[in-house]
Chain A
Amino acid sequence: MSKVIIEVLYPEYNNLFGDRGNCEYLKIKLEKANIEVEVINTNLYDEPHFIKSHVDVLLIGPCQEKHQKIELEKLKTYKVAIKNRIDNGGIILATGNAFELFGEYIETPAGEKIEGLGFYPYYAKQFSKLRYNDCSVGEFEDIKIVGFKNLLSHSYGKNDKPFLTMLKGAGMNRGCKVEGIHDNNFFATYHTGPILPLNPQFTDKLIKLIDPKYESVILEFESRAYEKRLEELLK
């Protein structure tokens, strides 16, 4: 593979909770496998690169709750292109509250309903005070995914295409065992922060979607970090 293009959407907002770790990790894994990487940062008032050109991976991280509305206003103008990307198997990773952008709406504590992209029938409700904090474990196919959550919202309603079945911690909400979306190569999860470096096996799977010939590059301590976390969280 000659060059992999990673597009990071709205990094001026979607940069919370160490989310940049995902892009940095993908980049170093690919580069160590001698694959060139280009990272394109797209700001709110720019037209996303993937609309007109080829992008291998689109990353959308978590933002402050008040910024979801601003982002959705923009994203709605690219609704068809995003839907096409999902349907055509383009890779997207959405983390933290970016998961909510793809649902029906987001309800604020004041009762305002911010219209989402509406691709899936769930909706989110923001809390007014305490944030939801957790260290959780979920299962995707045969891979256990570990990670952290820091949210001021949960979501409810129907989800036919969940990404994770939770073994520890809340799903879409405290009463729900599943979370996220897995639709073709679109992955959305409520996990915030560096979910990829925390989960080397899942990252490998993701990179193989970009380049089936990719041979795994393993960082010296990543597996021990993963195993130890998994063991502690499932104890």
Chain B
Amino acid sequence: MNKVKFLIAIFAGKISAFLLQKIFKRGTNTPGAIMLKICPDALARFTMPEKIICVTGTNGKTGTSNLLTHIIRNSGKTVVNNSKGSNMAPGLASTLVTDCTLGGKVLADMAVLEVDERSSQSIYTKFTPNYILCTNLFRDSIKRNGHSGFIFDKINDYLDKKTTLILNGNDGISGLLGEDVCERVFFSVNKTEKSTDKCTDTVCDLIACPKCNHLLDYDFYHYNHIGVPICKHCGFKMPESSFFASDVNFKEGTFIFNDKTGETLTLPFQKGNFFNVFNITGACAVCRLLGIDMKTIEESIVDLSSKIGRFQEDENSGVKVVSMLSKNQNPISCSQSLKYLDSTSEEKDVVLLITDSNDKFHGHEDISWLYDTDFGPLINDSIKTIYIGGSRCFDVATCLEIKGVDKDKFIVFENYDELASEVSRKSVTGRSIIVFFELYATRVVKKIRAAIKEKGDK
């Protein structure tokens, strides 16, 4: 009976996917949601590809899973990947149903699936991944994720001993996943010229030893709690890494990937985005475990690095507009984006669209995360005006004033249209505009660009 339900679900999923594609020209989660309605355990009933690789973690899972997919495809294998759907059960079902036979056999050599940390139970209990790569665990959106320990348990409770974990050897939180249960392989990044002896960020999610609760020492920090934690009291330290990045060159945007066999590769990363080194190293580690040769890895990464960008930059009548996306309500991601300001010395205006621009729809935003964010880069003489937009603009302004940012530079707007026209009206030739925005504010960034272009055209 359940088999019949599954076949009906596949049929319904395929038809809805086809229609949605025809009418709306895009993929959605709807086919998967329909499938799961008809057959709740549909994810357990697909005949899955020979190798299943899941990518999870707080930051960097999309970038890492896209990169992994790209390299594996270049190696000549076919891959199903949920980059167009969501990273929760319905998104995975949508991905699988569009690439399977009517009998439910997924038509690919491998599956690379980005998995939301909180969806671990609804996914790992349905099929057992051969590999799970966890990029890192941090505090994240408070409403959805609570704290890092809560998310750790959500993943750790559903790991199967048949899964091999690929873990960040610089992360003393996610690095403890699957201890004594799974086979675990570690990757890490060696000390760089930017490593510090003390944590210089507002937030450090691992201050006390996870084993004995005494304060941890760190050999060095890369950022936040990512580094080399060591407990002098009980001897806790991270396991040795089989894969690691060395010789990170921030000026050139290159580093050396080291394989446990001693083979090395010089690889590019996006300048100014140090996260990227971890993502690439993690993806390379998985590729090596899959037996992909170094040359294919190198060619794929060089090829891809020219196409992806965390920020967008363009210029109209002498006004340069740079926009940088940061993950919604995620203090780590927002802090990392803001660090971009440290690397620029030219005169600039800054626009902050960092609080939920859709909060009428999502519900009143819990802005507590602002206090976990590093706004230090905004204390800078080269910044002339700080525009703050959205329904929570007064909260952002208050938090910035508490954190020591000069309030005389603030211009606040609850209304995004008014903000966009004011930014354009006051724009000055030769002065850049740097916009930090969350995903839903993409439209506001477009508006600012359009207004400046229009002003230039007049």
Which among A66, A225, A233 has the greatest number of chain B C-beta atoms within 10 A? A225
Q: Is the CB of A224 within 8 A of B139?
A: no
Any B CB within 8 A of the CB of A194:
yes
In the complex, what distance in Å separates the CA atom of A193 from the CA atom of B373? 13
Size of the A side of the interface (Cβ < 8 Å), in residues, is: 42
Interface residues of A in 188-215 (CB under 8 A from B): 192-194, 197-198
Which stretch from B146-154, B272-280, B440-448 is at the chain A interface?
B146-154
In the complex, what distance in Å separates the CA atom of A228 from the CA atom of B372? 22
Partner of B394, one of A133, A192, A194, A225: A225
* Chain A residues with CB below 8 A from B391, complex form: 228
In the complex, what distance in Å separates the CA atom of A64 from the CA atom of B149? 7
Q: Is the CB of A20 within 8 A of B214?
A: no
Any A CB within 8 A of the CB of B338:
no
* Chain B residues with CB below 8 A from A220, complex form: 397-398, 401, 407, 410
Q: Is the CB of A197 within 8 A of B214?
A: no
Any B CB within 8 A of the CB of A80:
no
Q: Which residue of B lies closest to A43 (CB)?
A: B215
Q: Is the CB of A12 within 8 A of B215?
A: yes
Any A CB within 8 A of the CB of B5:
no
Any B CB within 8 A of the CB of A39:
no
Chain A 210-235 against B: per-residue CB contact (8 Å), 1 yes, 0 no? 00000000011110110011001100
Partner of A133, one of B143, B148, B203: B143
In the complex, what distance in Å separates the CA atom of A228 from the CA atom of B367? 13
Chain A 42-74 against B: per-residue CB contact (8 Å), 1 yes, 0 no? 011100000000000000000011110010000
* Chain A residues with CB below 8 A from B399, complex form: 21, 194, 197
| Closest chain B CB from A163 CB (angstroms) | 19
* Chain A residues with CB below 8 A from B401, complex form: 28, 219-221
Q: Is the CB of A224 within 8 A of B369?
A: no
Q: Which residue of B lies closest to A16 (CB)?
A: B147
Partner of A224, one of B142, B143, B331, B394: B394
Given contacts A17-B142, A70-B213, A221-B398, whether A229 and B364 have CB atoms under 8 Å apart is: yes
Any B CB within 8 A of the CB of A120:
no
Any A CB within 8 A of the CB of B45:
no
Q: Is the CB of A152 within 8 A of B150?
A: yes
| Closest chain B CB from A59 CB (angstroms) | 13
Partner of A193, one of B208, B366, B398, B410: B366
Counting contact residues on chain B (CB < 8 A from A), the size range is: 35 or more
Q: Is the CB of A221 within 8 A of B397?
A: yes
Q: Which residue of A lies closest to B139 (CB)?
A: A16
Q: Is the CB of A131 within 8 A of B146?
A: yes
* Chain B residues with CB below 8 A from A159, complex form: none
Interface residues of B in 389-407 (CB under 8 A from A): 391-395, 397-399, 401-403, 407
| Closest chain B CB from A58 CB (angstroms) | 19
Which among A65, A194, A198 has the greatest number of chain B C-beta atoms within 10 A? A194
* Chain B residues with CB below 8 A from A225, complex form: 392, 394-395, 397-398
In the complex, what distance in Å separates the CA atom of A133 from the CA atom of B139? 16
Chain B 151-186 against A: per-residue CB contact (8 Å), 1 yes, 0 no? 000000000000000000000000000000000000
Any B CB within 8 A of the CB of A89:
no
Which among B147, B148, B369 has the greatest number of chain A C-beta atoms within 10 A? B147
Q: Is the CB of A12 within 8 A of B366?
A: no
Any B CB within 8 A of the CB of A187:
no
Q: Which residue of A lies closest to B215 (CB)?
A: A43
Any A CB within 8 A of the CB of B363:
yes
Interface residues of A in 6-36 (CB under 8 A from B): 11-13, 15-21, 24-25, 28
In the complex, what distance in Å separates the CA atom of A28 from the CA atom of B149? 31
Any B CB within 8 A of the CB of A105:
no
Q: Is the CB of B397 within 8 A of A148?
A: no
| Closest chain B CB from A41 CB (angstroms) | 10
* Chain B residues with CB below 8 A from A173, complex form: none
Any A CB within 8 A of the CB of B248:
no
Q: Is the CB of A18 within 8 A of B369?
A: yes
Given contacts A13-B208, A17-B368, A194-B368, whether A222 and B143 have CB atoms under 8 Å apart is: no
In the complex, what distance in Å separates the CA atom of A192 from the CA atom of B370? 13
Partner of B366, one of A135, A152, A219, A224: A135
Q: Which residue of B lies closest to A20 (CB)?
A: B371
Any B CB within 8 A of the CB of A150:
yes
* Chain B residues with CB below 8 A from A194, complex form: 368, 371, 399
Q: Is the CB of A152 within 8 A of B146?
A: yes
| Closest chain A CB from B361 CB (angstroms) | 14
| Closest chain B CB from A155 CB (angstroms) | 18
A interface residues, Cβ below 8 angstroms from B: 11-13, 15-21, 24-25, 28, 43-45, 64-67, 70, 131, 133, 135, 148, 150, 152, 192-194, 197-198, 219-222, 224-225, 228-229, 232-233
User: What are 28 residue pairs bridging A and B, where the CB atoms are less than 8 Å apart in the complex?
Assistant: A11-B207, A12-B208, A15-B207, A16-B147, A17-B142, A18-B142, A18-B367, A18-B371, A18-B372, A20-B202, A20-B372, A21-B399, A24-B371, A25-B402, A43-B208, A148-B368, A150-B143, A192-B142, A193-B371, A197-B398, A197-B402, A220-B398, A221-B393, A221-B410, A222-B398, A224-B394, A225-B392, A228-B391
Taking A12-B215, A221-B393 as given, write out 17 further A-B residue pairs in contact, using a Cβ cutoff of 8 Å, ordered by the A residue number: A12-B208, A13-B207, A15-B207, A17-B372, A21-B402, A44-B213, A45-B215, A64-B147, A64-B149, A67-B149, A193-B366, A197-B371, A220-B410, A221-B394, A221-B395, A221-B410, A222-B398
- The 5 tightest CB contacts between A and B, nearest first, are A193-B368, A18-B371, A21-B371, A18-B368, A225-B394
